[in-house]
Amino acid sequence: MTDATSPANTSGEPEDTKLKRVMGPGLLLLFIVGDVLGTGIYALTGEVAAEVGGIVWLPFLVAFLLATVTACSYLELVTKYPKAAGAALYTHKAFGVHFLTFLVAFAVMSSGITSASTASRAFAENFGESTGLGSGAFGVTAVSLAFIALLAAVNLRGVGESVKMNVVFTCIELSGLVIIILIGAWALAGGEGDFSRAVDFSAAEEEGGLFWPVIAATTLAFFAMVGFEDSVNMAEESKKPSRIFPKVLLAGLLITGVIYLLVSVTAIALVEVEDLSQGATPLLKVVEAGAPWFPLSVFGVITMCAVANSALINMLMASRLLYGMAEENVLPSVLGRVLPNRRTPWIAILFTTALAAGLIVFVGAVPELGGTTALLLLAVFAVVNVAVLVLRSDKVDHDHFTAPLGLPWLGAASCAFFVGPWTGRDPVQYLIAGILLGIGVVLWAGTVAWMKSKGQEPGGDDADMNELAQ
């Protein structure tokens, strides 16, 4: 849908970006699908089942609907302002408060880093289980750190190489989930498994009703649906972003939503809730139960590729976000430096890699980091949905997507609701998020002091913001 009052210019694409435009519709779709599929469904299916029992698919459905509502707000803004920096740019355009912009930028960056750290830990755990190497707490940490360093090297080499690796990983992780779905179909045809468990609401109802257990499980399942927002931070590396984003992003969400529902139903049909909720590799148990002849080591490699893809994309997003905000004068300009030949934001890449390594060493657990990722993003999503409404009066000189009436209001209210402690969220997630945002406040104060010492005004003036956003 486009703004009918906009002039005829449909490009909406600034040509003066320092980054390479390498992503067309196909690569962008694989980027989105590869980011959304991955760690969440591979690592947290059991955790969701522990909350609601057999109706494990329902929290994934609720999370999908919640993500789609907010995705419409992101689409309006990315097609209106097709620049790197995503939610932070939209916040700055809407409210013009440097402190709020900085915290949103830091929260999104932190969500990417916590997600990448979660994926790195999941990669290491699957690596240990599949190969017998790197097991134990020390081994998992060591493999995770080596893995995150490898991702930094790929990221430094260039977005073209990173996107090509994403294509390979996405195809592999899609094959893994298709294998799960086919195993379920085979079991159903052979009279194996118990698909009636997928409509057994008794476990949730025993907790005092269906509503709150599903809400608590959705706070976990939502981590599986995050990733669509990462794509807007790649707007400066996409071709004709204002034109391609709406169809590609909505198609990517639909594909992943359908796959998640089919995989979750298959998982609960083949594995009892008690078994599925134990351990860090629930889908390996599904393969073992439904196709014991299938080599588990092969599926272990597929799982590792899936979580590796999540980590790669999130580290790409986090570094591009810092680059974009440095370009907007919200962060120190040093974070906007790029390698002369590779044109990759190397300072931002090294900074985000160091933060991810710190989380791997000092936090580590997948549920806590995954939940913290969802918590941070839900808070950001609430702000973005409000920003859409504030910026409706800001006209641009090209056609852009417009979110259907009422969806931004619904998105803001629902995201704010899922941030609250009444959802049953583990309190440690608030602690981790609070510590991360506390670091952000300290960095904000240091950034303001540093920029003023250089004679720079944090955030720039309105003219600079308008020029950068259009």
Q: For residue 310, is pLDDT > 70?
A: yes
9 within 8 A of 395, measured Cβ to Cβ: no
What integer pLDDT is reported at residue 459 of this predicted model?
62
Q: What confidence tier does 255 reach under pLDDT thresholds 50, 70, 90?
A: very high
Residues in a beta bridge with 238: 23
Its CATH architecture, for the domain 25-469, is Up-down Bundle (1.20)
| pTM beyond 0.85, yes or no | no
Confidence of residue 38 (pLDDT cuts 50, 70, 90): low
Q: What are phi and psi of 328, to 5 degrees?
A: -90, 0
For residues 112 and 311, what is the distance between their CA atoms, to the nearest angstrom? 8
DSSP code for 401: B
Per the CB < 8 A criterion, the answer to whether 117 and 360 are in contact is yes
| Number of neighbours of residue 379 by Cβ within 10 angstroms | 21
Round to whole Å and give the CA distance between 91 and 86.
9
Q: Are 101 and 329 in contact (CB under 8 A)?
A: no
d(CA 347, CA 328): 16
pLDDT in tens, 413-426: 999 999 999 888 88
* Domain positions in the chain: 25-469
| 280: nearest Cα among 119, 104, 113 | 119
pLDDT in tens, 138-194: 888 888 899 999 999 988 887 777 778 878 888 888 888 898 999 888 887 888 888
DSSP state of 238: B
- Average pLDDT over all residues of the chain: 82
Q: Is the pLDDT of residue 407 over 80?
A: yes
Contact by Cβ (8 Å): 9, 82: no
